[in-house]
Amino acid sequence: MSHFSQIKTQIRSLDSLKSALADMGIEWKSGAAPVRGYKGQTQTAEVVIQQDNGYDVGFAWNGQEYELVADMQFWQLNHSVDHFLRQVTQRYAYHTVMTETQSQGFQVAEEQSNEDGSIRLVLQRWSA
């Protein structure tokens, strides 16, 4: 019986996911690799975060999005699963917005981090 949990996300861009994790100071390995779980069980993921306890956390492509994959019994990251996913999702959204707006010719005119953790962006695009 597998002890792995798969938690759905709205994460579809691998590059934005990697940038989000880097922003958070999380070291990860890229490329199809095993996520280690209970009694030597593994599950393949495209991004793997190794924990000091010998069990891993990963993000695996399910055909539509990257799911968080882990044996929750051995979760050892600094924050709860919910807090971790909120942080990843926020940083992911930030990088997705930045990539998309830059591709459409926008530039950041102002960026403000608010006390509640939200980020306010003012974008501009000059037209001829």
Indicate the domain borders of the chain: 5-124
Instruction: Give 54-68 as a 3 state SS string.
Output: CCEEEEEECCCCEEE
More confident residue, 60 or 125: 60
Q: What is the DSSP letter of 65?
A: S
SS3 88: helix
Asked if residue 2 has pLDDT above 80, the reply is: no
CA atoms within 13 A on the CB side of 87: 15
Mean of the per-residue pLDDT values of the chain: 93
Question: Cα-flanking dihedrals φ and ψ of residue 99, to 5°?
Answer: -65, -45
Question: Residue 127 — very low, low, confident or very high, per pLDDT cuts 50/70/90?
Answer: confident
Model pTM? 0.87
| In the predicted structure, residue 28 carries a pLDDT above the cut 70 | yes
